[in-house]
Amino acid sequence: MPYSSGSMPYVGRFAPSPSGSLHFGSLIAALGSYLRARSLQGKWLVRIEDIDPPREVPGAADDILRTLEAFGLNWDDAVLYQSARNEAYQAQIDALLSTGDAYFCQCSRKQIQAMGGVYNGHCERLKLSSGAIRIKNRTRISWFDDVLMGRVEVSDDFAREDFIIKRSDGLYAYQLAVVMDDAHSGITEVVRGADLIEASCRQLSLFEQFGFHKPAFLHLPLACADVGFKLSKQNHATPVDKANPLPALKAALAFLGQRTVDGATPDELLSQAVSNFQLGAIPTTREILIDGRD
């Protein structure tokens, strides 16, 4: 499964939220995106997605960066903090509102449930001046080809929904921020966990509607303690050990189907993994159950 984006050099990224320390599931996403970028002689960037203050843990962003360094996952260029991009997000929203490509919505979750669980455009005709802001979804992408997982499809209802790009509490929505930041950084391929695979259709819709270059998408299997229960900061997954990175690094490589060498140091192991990286060895299931790392 080769990478192809015309003549554009490869640019990948890892984009954690600072809601806690780096755990084994996050390490898999970081390592997978790093190996993909470095094996293609590309750039690997880090972005801290700090636009949801209620979920953030003080000091977590710096702790994540120090953990990446301890594992030898050194990034290119300066770290991009989403919180520094608020003006850019708002400018895009203002432009969309001015052209009728976005509108305010005051529908509650209960009202949307009464619509069948998918928002039906009710507020567009009301010409409201406050509330959440929804994109007028003109592109409605319902499928894409994932580099690892193959064809991914979503329902027509999901594809056509006018989804939120700014929340009613004034915070910018993930879908808007991630698309604008990937375009801003020139990301050519997004490598991340399979929990976000369906959201890629909405992001591709925004890339097209905004006239941005679309990246490829490559989704990795999730490390799960039980079926449907991924390791996450919200589920209090145990942080990986910065002081002793070798066990977690070897386990993450094995999870991704990559060969490991006994007796190697973490730096040697990572260097060998880059040289010998095999995309086709990564399992194509969306979840893998693991023991002892929850």
Q: Which residues are annotated as a binding site for L-glutamate?
A: 13-17, 49, 174, 192
Q: Residue 208 in contact with residue 28, Cβ under 8 Å? A: no
Chain centroid to Cα 155, Å, comes to 21
Residues in Cβ contact with 7 at an 8 Å cutoff, skipping those fewer than 6 apart: none
Q: Which residues are annotated as a binding site for Zn(2+)?
A: 105, 107, 119, 123
Q: Which residues are annotated as a binding site for ATP?
A: 233
Q: Which residues are annotated as a binding site?
A: 13-17, 49, 105, 107, 119, 123, 174, 192, 233
Question: Which whole-number Å values give the CA distances from 64 to 17, 154, 278, in the listed order?
Answer: 9, 33, 26
Helix locations, 165-243, DSSP H: 174-185, 199-210
Rounded to an integer, what distance in angstroms lies between the CA atom of residue 26 and that of residue 16?
Answer: 8
Q: Residue 146 in contact with residue 163, Cβ under 8 Å? A: no
Give the pair of three-digit tokens for residue 59: 């000091």
Question: Which whole-number Å values give the CA distances from 209 to 214, 225, 234, 259, in the listed order?
Answer: 11, 38, 33, 41
